Amino acid sequence: MKVKKHIVIYIGSALLLNACNTTPKVTPVVDSSFADVRKTFVTKLTKQTGSKGPVEMPPETLYSVVQYPTSIGNMAAYLSVVPGDGKLHPAMIWITGGFGNDIGNVWSEEDADNDQSAAVIRDAGIVMMYPSQRGGNENAGSDETCFGEIDDILAAAGFLAKQKGIDPNRIYLGGHSTGGTKVLLAAECSDRFRAVFSFGPVTSVVDYGEEYMTFDTKNKREAEMRAPINWLRFIKTPVFVFEGGSQSSNIASLKEMEEKAKVEGNTYTHFYEVPGKNHFSALQPASKIIAAKIMQDDKGGAVNMDFTAEMKAIP
């Protein structure tokens, strides 16, 4: 299975924001952090779903299939080869787009305008982990449309930090489309990651369309818990959000969240439009730049990254 390549068949992408959706984005008034709110919230799913099937076996020279523990059982992930040179290496957990929470082919060469594998990050010398999540492949649970999956992503980080040759202080998180939305939600409830890179997220998952939801979208609280725009104020680690500037993208969501972050005074969040690119074509060139910045981010202390000039210079 290619990395969710089938989603491109729909209206450009099944993961682009539904422009007809008019769901209001109201910031919930809460005294607790997003992490604390999540601990007390129990989602009620309206259907049990997920992309089931065995994990596709990768080339042994590039990846191994590992099992990482979560609160509901072990889940499969691809882990790229960790150099056995006795050094500690930076690592990236990457969450692919689409629904179903499975993992597939992230090793075959793809066209630069639709490379959703993030393989260019691995090529730069960064260890990559691609975790499947609940309901995907042969995992326990069901697709929760960006709720329980956040716990799985954090569990993957705990597993990765314990692996030989991995620098536990240089674990980064990235994702594209629905993966970009998931990693943004993860950053809002945890400061576990050195930095987070979100490509093409939406303000709220309900904007993807009713047919993809596994919960009652009329339940205000269910929707609020899956709306990154509601929880930006809780981000306490550097987060970088990217999206192509063309109409075939979620650029409106990026702009809306950027404005919200400014109003709330959150200095940890940074938003970048990639001119002339769309939801897919922005991914590979921007990922190459991100990889280079990560490889230079080895001095300790605060993360010092800015992508303004580089994004404008992408041809």
pLDDT in tens, 36-77: 999 999 999 999 999 999 999 999 999 999 999 999 999 999
From the list 134, 137, 186, the residue with the least C-alpha distance to 157 is: 186
User: Under a CB-based contact definition with an 8 Å cutoff, are residues 188 and 231 in contact?
Assistant: yes
In DSSP terms, 305 is beta-bridged to none
Q: Using the structure block, give the residue that is written with the tokens 């998931």.
A: 182
CATH of the domain at 271: 3.40.50.1820
User: What does the pLDDT read at residue 16?
Assistant: 64
Side chain identity at residue 137, one-letter code: N
User: Under a CB-based contact definition with an 8 Å cutoff, are residues 227 and 233 in contact?
Assistant: no
CA dihedral angle for residue 109, residue 66, residue 68, residue 227, rounded to 10 degrees: 10
Q: CA-to-CA distance for 282 and 271, rounded, in angstroms? A: 14
One digit per residue, the tens of pLDDT, for the chain of length 315 reads: 444 443 332 233 335 655 444 444 556 656 789 999 999 999 999 999 999 999 999 999 999 999 999 999 999 999 999 999 999 999 999 999 999 999 999 999 999 999 999 999 999 999 999 999 999 999 999 999 999 999 999 999 999 999 999 999 999 999 999 999 999 999 999 999 999 999 999 999 999 999 999 999 999 999 999 999 999 999 999 999 999 999 899 999 999 999 999 999 999 999 999 999 999 999 999 999 999 999 999 777 899 999 999 999 999
Q: CA-to-CA distance for 167 and 29, rounded, in angstroms? A: 38
User: Under a CB-based contact definition with an 8 Å cutoff, are residues 226 and 150 in contact?
Assistant: no
User: What does the pLDDT read at residue 281?
Assistant: 98
User: What does the pLDDT read at residue 13?
Assistant: 37
User: What does the pLDDT read at residue 18?
Assistant: 53
pLDDT in tens, 207-254: 999 999 999 999 999 999 999 999 999 999 999 999 999 989 999 999
- Identify the domain containing residue 217 by its residue range: 5-298+307-313
Taking CA atoms, 100 is separated from 13, 64, 174, 199, 210, in Å, by 15, 21, 18, 19, 15
Q: Give pTM, 2 decimals.
A: 0.93
Q: What is the DSSP string of 80-91?
A: EPPP-SS--EEE
From the list 203, 167, 281, the residue with the least C-alpha distance to 27 is: 203
From the list 89, 86, 99, the residue with the least C-alpha distance to 211 is: 99
The SS3 assignment for 255 reads: helix
Q: What are the structure tokens assigned to 20, written together?
A: 């007809």
The beta-strand segments (E) located in 123-179 are: 127-131, 166-176
User: What does the pLDDT read at residue 29?
Assistant: 57
Q: Looking at the 3D structure of the chain, how many domains does it have? A: 1
